[in-house]
């Protein structure tokens, strides 16, 4: 019986192609898992820094620079200008710009950043919007990535509100911005969800927040212990 070597070669080629496709698919899956793991690890590092004593101090200094508490019953926002912005704001905005760059480079997931930092970043962003976005501001180009990230997180927030036509700026009226800065001064910089456990280390709190994200996002990678 003659062997049809052409047919054998065709079958072998098909098997090789299928094997290659399977290997590529598996490699892609492994790469995705590794990327998710690194993203979670990066998020944990950024949150640990956010909760560190040095950065909590920076956030408190900004709150002190922005809030007029001469009337304790009716605190108000202090006036500022593009020519003389509060110096303490730059350390805070630079951190959020760094987060934005990590998202842009694929080292952090935008949903994770929204879940973890939106309630802290957005009131500061709205308060300092002219500094970040105005064509007359010498710092506008410096915060391009932050501006883009905020738009992405605003979209997530609006979707979560189940109101595509909602005005997200209404969430951050002057009264709400004042409330944010008051909270920064009164809470010692701790997240609202962990206010009752101030003795925890920043890294433990970071792991707790990451676990919350994993529960709401099954694609997130494992938490590194």
pLDDT in tens, 56-75: 999 999 999 999 988 878 89
95-127 pLDDT, tens digit per residue, is: 999 999 999 999 999 999 999 999 999 999 999
> Rounded distance, CA 122 to CA 117, Å?
8
Residue 59 has, within 13 A of its CA and on its CB side, a CA count of: 27
Q: Are 91 and 58 in contact (CB under 8 A)?
A: yes
Range in 11-25, 74-88, 156-170 with the lowest mean pLDDT: 11-25
Q: Evaluate if pTM is beyond 0.75.
A: no
For the chain, the structural domain boundaries read 41-216
* Sign of the dihedral through C-alpha 191, 140, 129, 146: negative
């Amino acid at each position: 019986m003659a062997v049809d070597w052409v047919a054998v070669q065709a079958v072998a080629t098909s098997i090789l192609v299928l094997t290659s496709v399977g290997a590529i698919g598996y490699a892609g899956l492994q790469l995705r898992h590794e990327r998710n793991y690194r993203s979670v690890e990066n998020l944990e590092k950024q949150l640990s820094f956010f909760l560190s004593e040095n950065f909590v101090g920076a956030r408190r200094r900004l709150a002190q620079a922005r809030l007029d508490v001469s009337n304790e019953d009716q605190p108000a926002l202090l006036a500022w200008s593009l020519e003389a912005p509060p110096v303490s704001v730059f350390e805070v905005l630079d951190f959020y710009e760094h987060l934005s760059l990590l998202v842009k480079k694929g080292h952090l997931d935008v949903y994770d950043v929204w879940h973890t930092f939106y309630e802290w970043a957005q009131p500061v962003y709205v308060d300092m919007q002219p500094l970040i976005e105005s064509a007359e501001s010498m710092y506008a180009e410096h915060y391009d990535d932050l501006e883009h990230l905020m738009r992405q997180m605003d979209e997530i927030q609006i979707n979560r509100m189940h109101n595509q036509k909602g005005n997200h700026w209404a969430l951050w009226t002057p009264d709400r911005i004042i409330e944010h800065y008051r909270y920064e001064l009164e809470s010692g910089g701790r997240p609202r969800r962990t206010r009752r456990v101030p003795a925890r280390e920043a890294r433990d709190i970071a792991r707790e927040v990451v676990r919350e994200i994993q529960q709401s996002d099954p694609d997130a990678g494992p938490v590194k212990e």
